[in-house]
């Protein structure tokens, strides 16, 4: 368990949020030491952070007094985790290029512990190609980005660039530290593609690898849940500790999911279900010299919508893979299928999506939104489960506490 957090505060209006962050982190049992850049001191006084953290604030790279108490290398070694929040465009640029001209950038270079950064800046600065290049580089170097979030900015503009709220930053830091959040909770997860046969050797399918659903099953087992994983055909090892139900067609998946969801507290529909199946399946292989003409398709049941009709209804979480207008489509599906939460991601982009090991999600629920930044699917699964566990707790405080 990480106990010691070194918090780097950069100079931006969101620096005030870092004060609340220190308070929340300490409440959760972390020891926090704060490093401020010169610009951060223009926004919030070091005294605020000293009072909240219970330790003197570090600011100068070459300060004889502070070096005696704790050198910058000593400080870097002390930390179990380095969190930079808010992280300005300037600091991200310095980190991406190995510049070390102040205490915080030097600490980043010296740090050997996991590094998290919560960017905060104007939406145009965040969207600028050079910032995006720097961020991509930092991800390659192992930095975990938390956010940014979308919404109204201090400058009055709208867009991506707000620092993620302190409580959400805490939640994302604690991914690996909440092993019992789903103790005894029954979770059904669907994963992978479905196969719709045309004849004994041919079928219609899609590009789902099942990685996200399998990662969710593993994370749910680690969180203490009883997990049933209903899986279409994938080439992944069965997740230890989960009951695996293997299916091929949508109708088989439907039967298995409905049967298990009657006793479920949570249903997560991560499968890429075929919306249509061939109306007739040839008993023998269709010969190529025979003109088969058109393939007539018939609609498959919408599994998740049917789970959402069960009484009692489990907490129902869907996925939406979109190539455009992500938020509108996701929110529409949330409502149309009567889901409690939907995790949406872009497909057809350079990184993330179906066959990738990495993904980013925008998670929507009635009245809320949380962005989970691009990361490996295992980390993402744990972050999503934390959100799901919170929703379950809101819905049913006894079962999930």
Q: Which positions touch ligand C5P (CB under 6 A)?
A: 190, 269, 271, 273, 275, 300, 302-304, 318-320, 333
Shortest gap between Cβ of 32 and ligand C5P (angstroms)?
39
Shortest gap between Cβ of 215 and ligand C5P (angstroms)?
15
DSSP for 359-396? Answer: EEEEEEETTEEEEEEEEEHHHHHHHHHHHHHHHHHHH-
Nearer to ligand C5P, 82 or 363 (CB): 363
Shortest gap between Cβ of 87 and ligand C5P (angstroms)?
33
With vertex at residue 138, the alpha carbon angle to CA 132 and CA 143, rounded to the nearest 5 degrees, is 125
Dmax over Cα atoms in the chain, in whole Å? 88
Beta-carbon contacts of 325 under 8 Å, excluding residues fewer than 6 positions away, are none
Contact (Cβ atoms closer than 8 angstroms) between residue 61 and residue 72? yes
Nearer to ligand C5P, 123 or 190 (CB): 190
Token pair, residue 247, equals: 């299916």
Instruction: State the Cα–Cα distance between residues 330 and 343, nearest whole angstrom.
Output: 8
Active site residue 113: no
Nearer to ligand C5P, 119 or 269 (CB): 269
Shortest gap between Cβ of 54 and ligand C5P (angstroms)?
46
Sign of CA dihedral 387, 393, 394, 395: positive
Catalytic residue among 10, 113, 155, 170: 155
Contact (Cβ atoms closer than 8 angstroms) between residue 33 and residue 97? no
Nearer to ligand C5P, 77 or 299 (CB): 299
Nearer to ligand C5P, 126 or 346 (CB): 346
Shortest gap between Cβ of 271 and ligand C5P (angstroms)?
5
- Tell me the β-bridge partners of 348: none
SS3 236: coil
Catalytic residues: 155
């Amino acid at each position: 368990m990480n106990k010691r957090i070194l918090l780097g505060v950069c100079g931006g209006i969101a620096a005030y949020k870092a004060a609340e962050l220190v308070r929340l982190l300490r409440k959760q049992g972390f020891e926090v030491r704060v490093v401020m850049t010169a610009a951060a001191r223009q926004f919030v006084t070091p005294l605020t952070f000293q009072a909240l953290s219970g330790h003197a604030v570090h600011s100068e790279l070459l300060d004889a007094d502070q070096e005696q108490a704790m050198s910058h290398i000593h400080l870097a070694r002390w930390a179990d985790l380095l969190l930079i929040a808010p992280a300005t465009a300037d600091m991200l640029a310095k980190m991406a290029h190995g510049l070390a001209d102040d205490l915080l950038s030097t600490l980043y270079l010296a740090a050997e512990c996991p590094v998290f950064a919560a960017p905060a800046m104007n939406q145009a600065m965040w969207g600028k190609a050079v910032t995006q290049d720097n961020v991509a580089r930092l991800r390659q170097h192992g930095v975990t980005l938390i956010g940014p979030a979308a919404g109204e900015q201090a400058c009055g503009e709208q867009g991506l660039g707000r620092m993620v709220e302190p409580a959400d930053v805490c939640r994302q830091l604690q991914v690996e530290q909440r092993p019992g959040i789903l103790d005894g909770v029954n979770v059904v997860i669907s994963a992978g593609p479905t196969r719709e046969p045309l004849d004994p050797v041919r079928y219609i399918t899609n590009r789902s690898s099942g990685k996200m659903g399998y990662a969710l099953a593993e994370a749910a087992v680690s969180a203490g849940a009883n997990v049933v994983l209903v899986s279409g055909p994938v080439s992944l090892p069965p997740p230890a500790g989960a009951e695996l139900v293997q299916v091929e067609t949508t109708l088989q998946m439907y039967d298995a999911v409905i049967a298990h969801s009657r006793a479920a507290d949570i249903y997560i529909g991560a499968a890429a279900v075929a919306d249509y199946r061939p109306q007739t399946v040839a008993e023998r292989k269709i010969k190529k010299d025979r003109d088969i003409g058109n393939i007539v398709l018939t609609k498959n049941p919408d599994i998740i919508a049917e789970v959402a009709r069960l009484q009692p209804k489990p907490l129902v979480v869907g996925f939406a893979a979109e190539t455009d207008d992500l938020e509108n489509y996701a929110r529409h599906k949330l409502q149309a299928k009567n889901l409690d939460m939907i995790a949406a991601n872009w497909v057809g982009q350079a990184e993330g999506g179906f066959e990738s090991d990495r993904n980013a999600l925008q998670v929507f629920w009635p009245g809320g939104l949380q962005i989970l930044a691009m990361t490996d699917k295992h980390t993402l699964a744990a972050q999503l489960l934390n959100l799901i566990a919170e929703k379950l707790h809101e819905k049913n405080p006894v079962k999930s506490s």
